[in-house]
A and B are shown apart, each in its own frame.
Chain A
Amino acid sequence: MEDVVVLDQVSKSYKDFRLNGVSFTVKRGYIHGFIGRNGAGKTTTIKLMMNLIEPDAGSIRIFGLDHREHEKEIKQRIGFVYADNCFYDDLTLEAMSRIVARCYRNWDERAYRRYLKMLDLPPKKKIKHLSKGMKTKYAIALALSHNADLIAMDEPTSGLDPVVRREILDVLTDVIQDEEKTIFFSTHITSDLEQVADYITFIHDGSIRFSLSKDEIFEKYTLVKGGLDLLDADTRRLFVGVREHSYGFEGLTDRPTEVRRLFRDQAIYEKPTLEEVMVYTIKFGNDAARGETAR
């Protein structure tokens, strides 16, 4: 499988935040989700990929090319969608698309018209008169109308109602049927990715926690529920995060075989959701007890 995006030890420091040696790859032909809480470094990473900010260290290669040296060529092949509207509010959809269309060699007017219709977007309406959901749908329509090989999206479903979110996910699932297309999609709404993503990269406090296929994640992690008597200093080390309450505990482990061997049928074992993986890692994280930081 060809890597469309390769980030290798990319770092970027700000006064109050540091992206810490970020490395992961995005494979061709898949939907790759990028999860993490707000402020974890998702937008910074996407901006680095888009060359909107310069890394302090590390390298970024997109389509096998250096992202700075071959910026123009790379951006011809990327469709972008940002959380905030970056189009001119006073223009109509039609006028804005005329500007964007002139920038791309492979602009497909028929595809654009098709997406406008499919997403129920009125071409004569001014952008400022669109709702947040419609603005996002418009950005997606533009991103998909120039035969881009990579669609990079920063929180496209954030702040949208479930119907619009579903509509967007359906379009993305449709796009990915073409095995040449790749979608890189950051979000903190993990349920969206559970439906559509093939690969997930999890970032926390500027460091990558994991970058795995969805199947690998569910193989690796297990949610364990049991009585408090099962927990001691040694068994706690088997968990990524543990939440205790008056009638027992719930913990996320990345060592399910060992846990099952120790607890046997004294505990209940469940497949966690991505949200649980994220929450247990961040909120009930056990890094100090395990003597580790990022994996």
Chain B
Amino acid sequence: MLTLVYKDLIVQRIVILTYSVVTILFATQMLSVDAPLVIVAMLAMAFTFASAAHDDRANSHLLLNSLPVTRREIVTAKYVYHVAASLGFVGMAAIARTLLGMMSPHAALSQTLITMTVITWYLAIFFPMYYGLGPRFVQVGMIVFFVTIMTIAPWAYNVAVKHNFWGLPELIASLPAVPLYLLLAAATFALLLVSWRVSVWLYSRKSF
């Protein structure tokens, strides 16, 4: 399984490097944006689409499924790789902002956890859709994703800011922090587990 993660690292090293540079530019406000970590989260999500499109273009399913690895391992490696890559991007942004004094270490940690939770939910939806619908999902999904982040997302974010996120931050702040984080972590883990099982089932039924 680690071989497959290594494979993705080698195959996509240029893409990873490019996304890392863009992440740093956004995180350090060299490219000025209102919410750098939100942008980094979107970059991480876009990375997933780019990676899936690359796999389909390279016809890699034929190669992978001819190597001595199981389909379960192929799917598991994808989850591990993308969670790790997303954590890398978000972590890199948080560390850069902390080192430059733009964020306290405590805020960096909590924002990293929240951002990673959002990304994980996204991955939990992305992979079953990808393994179920295949390249068509990647093509259509990429267009929908980019149109969304270019048009709907900024508008929705501004509306949310205008209404102070409908009191959600205060509500969260009023709840006990530790049980809340534990509950969130458990829900995220459960969602990821269900998503992984569905993806393995879908991928096992595929023909190449």
Contact = CB atoms under 8 A, between A and B. Distances in A.
Contacts of B207: 47, 52-54
B158 interface: no
B62 A52 contact: yes
B66 interface: yes
A116 B6 CA distance: 23
Contact of B68 (A47, A95, A103): A103
A71 B10 contact: no
A88 to B, nearest CB: 5
Nearest to B11: A88
B65 A51 contact: yes
Nearest to A74: B68
* Chain B: number of interface residues, binned into ranges: 20 to 34
Nearest to A82: B62
Instruction: Tell me whether chain B's interface is mostly helix, strand or loop, or mixed.
Output: loop
B114 to A, nearest CB: 35
B67 A103 contact: yes
Given A84-B59, A89-B58, A103-B3, A72 B11 contact: no
A91 B6 CA distance: 14
A88 B6 contact: no
B131 to A, nearest CB: 15
Contacts, number: 60
B68 A52 contact: no
B66 A99 contact: no
Contacts of B11: 88, 90-91, 99
Given A88-B11, A88-B60, A91-B11, A50 B6 contact: no
Contacts of A221: none
B3 A52 contact: no
Interface residues on A, range: 20 to 34
A76 B68 contact: yes
Given A76-B68, A99-B3, A86 B10 contact: no
B10 A95 contact: yes
B61 to A, nearest CB: 8
B15 to A, nearest CB: 10
A124 to B, nearest CB: 15
B168 interface: no
A102 B207 CA distance: 25
A52 B10 contact: no
A102 B6 contact: yes
B69 interface: yes
Most chain A Cβ neighbours within 10 Å, of B14, B63, B65, B66: B66
Interface in A76-122: 76, 78, 80, 82, 84-91, 95, 98-100, 102-104
Given A72-B69, A80-B66, A100-B67, A52 B208 contact: yes
A75 interface: yes
Contacts of B205: 54
Nearest to B62: A86
Contacts of A86: 59-60, 62-63, 66
B110 interface: no
A91 B59 CA distance: 14
B66 A75 contact: yes
Q: Which 5 A-B pairs have the closest CB atoms?
A: A75-B68, A53-B207, A86-B63, A102-B3, A86-B62
Given A47-B208, A53-B208, A104-B68, 20 more contacts: A47-B207, A52-B207, A72-B69, A73-B68, A75-B67, A76-B68, A80-B66, A82-B62, A86-B62, A86-B66, A87-B63, A88-B11, A90-B11, A90-B14, A95-B10, A99-B6, A99-B10, A100-B67, A103-B3, A103-B67
